[in-house]
Amino acid sequence: MVSIEANQTILPAKKFDLVGWVSRNILLIVVTAIIASMVVVPVGRLIISSFQEGHPAFPDGWTLQNYSYALSQPNFVETLGRTFWIAAVGTALSLVWAVGMAFLVERTDMPLRNLAWAIIIIPMAMPGILFAMGWALLLSPNSGALNVVLRAVLSPLGYTSNVGPINIFSISGLIFLDSIRGVTTIFLMVVGSFRMMDPTLEEAAMVSKASRLQTFTKITLPALMPAILAAGMYSFILSMESFEAALAVGLPGGVFVLSTMIYFTTRVQAPIDYGLAAVYGVLFMLLMIGLLYVYRRMIRHSERFTTVTGKGFRPRVISIGRWRYAALAAVGFYFLISTALPFAILLWTSLLPSYRAPSFEALNLVSLQNFAKVFTSPELIETVWNTLVLMLLTATATMVLAFVASWLIVRKHGSAVVTGSLDFMVFMPLAVPGIVVATALMVAFLTPPLSFTGIYGTIWIVALGLAISYLPFCTRLMNGAIVQIHKELEQAAYVSGATVFQAMIRITLPLLFPAFAAGWIWVAVHTLRAFAIPLMLSSRDNKVFAVFLWENWEQYAPNAAAMGVVLIIALIPLTLLLRRFISQLSRQQG
């Protein structure tokens, strides 16, 4: 091809024509306005409340007192440190597990590697709240099933106490749960780099007379380090805002983290100190922005280290000899603590009239009574109905918004400034933890003018909160898919007589269907297991399954266990379906 620099003329800047600009950008303006009111309004209201005295509906004036009060409380500073500590240690442990298993599954001759793959991602089907409940039943200091067993084993050695030896309601208990929960996320993020790593990097080291161990520590690990650190950072961010374990295990033991502190301030303590809750929310958000900034820098940095070349080679498999069985045992142990034990104890509890540690005598009491009781309660029918409505509403609304927003962002239709701000706004909720989204919505919709919409206390506000949280993921997913669709496919529709809207419905959307469906199922699954936002925003009429389950847990564990068992069984096929959809999609896009 010939390339010549055009002898270009620089012209003076054009005049601005407002009416023409608005008419050309009408779709962009409408979508940006919707997303701004979803994202910016509640967050803005939260920030305003943090500077207000008194109840946000009848503020007494402006003040910095909320901030000075929060920051002068030793409680707050301690909680902040504790949250960091738990997330940091938990993530470090998850990294060891996840990287170790990724290595075993992808690079060694460990037997049953395909089964191991499935085992490692199965915990995705277990909502965090049920995982935490399961471990509370296993390791509560008095009657936890594992503690009973341990006491029996240890009594010949002189252990006489009838509590312990392990107390899950503690910082170490929380770290333990956090470390197991992080494994799947990190594993899925790093396993690809293990698979795709260019084997010539290692071969070059070996022909340079490096031993196998030296090759691994000096070449393989450093080459994968950026990917591993980025995954660790991502998991750390998720740990910082995790709520379920902190609620089910931390709260009973008096171990507060940031998210449970906000929950306590807004939902338990009376009267509610909205100003203080707002301050906590704002500070939490600032912290997340900082962490996300670090994360973004890390992934930008990691691109220089790209080891993934996309040449579909199979990396060399390392023979680990007799250690193969030890490795398999380790993966089996992971399965036991991440899935099998918590599920087994939930199942066991759900079959008994009241909780007791597993024993042969207790077997006589086993019945399906709890299931019968739970599933005939009228309240349950209402919550199941609420959950289904919420699921359909959230998945559809989020995906339609994400589709249109992504289309505008990727196709750069219209004003660059507005498109840029739209892109920023759909990314922003990533920095807002679910608990803070809920707090912001509470403050915003309990006070005028938004209180007049009357959506507080309905299923709509829960859908709104979830949609805000899921928007970043869904728009990233749609961005990736839209980039794959050649612009000319849409332009061919325009010159064939279709309007922009018709082309979107008849051409773009059908071509995007796999990605759209994957996103829809992703949102649906996450809505089913969502906990923090529905709980924070729950009231009499908008209770969903997970919230109802939690209320039962607080009163009568066997009922909650029965509901949990049913929820997990419903989630397993959905999760598998989602995995298939997403892996198909990434194969198409790869």
Partner 1 sequence: MEVNITGLGKDFDSFGGHVAALDNVNFNIERGEFYTLLGPSGCGKSTTLRCIAGLETPDRGRISIGNMVVADRGVFVPPYQRPIGMVFQSYAIWPHMTVFNNVAFPLKHGHRKVSAPERKRRVMDVLAMMQMEHLADRPAPYLSGGQQQRVALARALVSSSEVLLLDEPLSNLDAKLREDLRIEIKELTRHLGITSIYVTHDQFEALAMSDRIAVMYGGKIVQEATPVELYTNPVNDFVAQFVGRVNLFDASVVEDAREGIGRVETPYGTWRCAMPAGFSKGMSAKLAIRPESLTVAPPERAGGGNIIEGQVKKLVFFGEAVECQVQVGQQTVMTKLATNIPVSVGDPIRLEFETNVCRLLPAAGAPARSVPVKLAS
Closest CA to 232 of 127, 90, 79: 90
* Contact between 213 and partner 1 per CB under 8 A: no
Q: Please, what sign has the CA dihedral across residues 100, 102, 105, 108?
A: negative
* Contact between 10 and partner 1 per CB under 8 A: yes
Q: Enumerate the H helices of 432-507 as residue ranges.
A: 434-446, 459-483, 487-495, 500-503
Answer whether 195's CB lies under 8 Å from 257's CB: no
Stretch in the footprint of partner 1 (CB under 8 A) among 1-9, 139-147, 383-391, 572-580: 1-9
Rounded CA separation 328/105 (Å): 10
**Strand ranges in 313-363 using DSSP code E only, listed in sequence order:** none
Rounded CA separation 587/368 (Å): 44
* Contact between 484 and partner 1 per CB under 8 A: no
Rounded CA separation 132/175 (Å): 12
Classify 318 as helix, strand or coil.
strand
Shortest Å distance, C-beta 501 to partner 1: 10
Answer whether 94's CB lies under 8 Å from 87's CB: no
Shortest Å distance, C-beta 519 to partner 1: 18
Instruction: Please identify which residue in the block is written with the tokens 């100190």.
Output: 273
* Contact between 359 and partner 1 per CB under 8 A: no
Stretch in the footprint of partner 1 (CB under 8 A) among 7-15, 89-97, 431-439, 456-464: 7-15
* Contact between 491 and partner 1 per CB under 8 A: yes
Rounded CA separation 473/508 (Å): 20
Answer whether 67's CB lies under 8 Å from 50's CB: yes
Shortest Å distance, C-beta 410 to partner 1: 17
Rounded CA separation 434/467 (Å): 11
Size of the site for partner 1 (CB under 8 A): 31
Q: Please, what sign has the CA dihedral across residues 357, 358, 360, 363?
A: positive
Stretch in the footprint of partner 1 (CB under 8 A) among 10-18, 237-245, 290-298, 362-370: 10-18
Residue among 212 and 487 whose Cβ is closer to partner 1 = 487
Shortest Å distance, C-beta 211 to partner 1: 51
> Among 8, 364, 376, 555, which residue sits at the site for partner 1 (rule: CB under 8 A)?
8
Classify 29 as helix, strand or coil.
helix
* Contact between 61 and partner 1 per CB under 8 A: no
Burial grade of 273 (CB within 10 A; 0-12, 13-18, 19 or more): middle
* Contact between 18 and partner 1 per CB under 8 A: no
User: Using the 8-state DSSP alphabet, how is residue 16 labeled?
Assistant: P
Shortest Å distance, C-beta 13 to partner 1: 7
Answer whether 547's CB lies under 8 Å from 534's CB: yes
> Among 14, 209, 314, 322, which residue sits at the site for partner 1 (rule: CB under 8 A)?
14
Phi, psi of 308 (to 5 degrees): -90, 110
Shortest Å distance, C-beta 130 to partner 1: 40
Residue among 23 and 354 whose Cβ is closer to partner 1 = 23
> Among 293, 313, 325, 494, which residue sits at the site for partner 1 (rule: CB under 8 A)?
494
Residue among 22 and 96 whose Cβ is closer to partner 1 = 22
Residue among 269 and 496 whose Cβ is closer to partner 1 = 496
> Among 496, 584, 588, 589, which residue sits at the site for partner 1 (rule: CB under 8 A)?
496
Positions in 223-242 near partner 1 (CB under 8 A): none
How far are the Cα atoms of 53, 64, 103, 449 from residue 56, in angstroms, in the given order? 8, 14, 53, 12
> Among 326, 489, 569, 572, which residue sits at the site for partner 1 (rule: CB under 8 A)?
489
Contacts of 196 (CB under 8 A, 6+ apart): 307, 308, 309, 310, 315
Residue among 7 and 114 whose Cβ is closer to partner 1 = 7
Binding mask of the shown chain, residues 504 to 523, with x at each position contacting partner 1 by CB under 8 A: --xx--xx-x----------
* Contact between 154 and partner 1 per CB under 8 A: no
Rounded CA separation 238/288 (Å): 10
Residue among 100 and 480 whose Cβ is closer to partner 1 = 480
User: Using the 8-state DSSP alphabet, how is residue 270 labeled?
Assistant: S
Stretch in the footprint of partner 1 (CB under 8 A) among 111-119, 146-154, 263-271, 498-506: 498-506
Residue among 2 and 18 whose Cβ is closer to partner 1 = 2
Residue count (the chain): 590
* Contact between 417 and partner 1 per CB under 8 A: no
* Contact between 22 and partner 1 per CB under 8 A: no
> Among 61, 321, 497, 590, which residue sits at the site for partner 1 (rule: CB under 8 A)?
497
Answer whether 115's CB lies under 8 Å from 335's CB: no
Classify 62 as helix, strand or coil.
strand
Residue among 155 and 496 whose Cβ is closer to partner 1 = 496
* Contact between 115 and partner 1 per CB under 8 A: no
Shortest Å distance, C-beta 14 to partner 1: 7
> Among 156, 452, 495, 554, which residue sits at the site for partner 1 (rule: CB under 8 A)?
495
Shortest Å distance, C-beta 460 to partner 1: 34
Instruction: Please identify which residue in the block is written with the tokens 């701004």.
Output: 36
* Contact between 19 and partner 1 per CB under 8 A: no
Stretch in the footprint of partner 1 (CB under 8 A) among 9-17, 73-81, 196-204, 550-558: 9-17
* Contact between 15 and partner 1 per CB under 8 A: no
Burial 309-327 (b: 16+ CB within 10 A, else e): eeeeeebeebebeeebeeb
Residue among 270 and 495 whose Cβ is closer to partner 1 = 495
Write the single-letter amino acid at 394.
T
Strand-pairing partners, residue 201, are: none
Answer whether 231's CB lies under 8 Å from 299's CB: no
Q: What does the binding site for partner 1 look like in residue numbers (CB under 8 A)?
A: 1-4, 6-14, 486, 488-489, 491-499, 502, 506-507, 510-511, 513
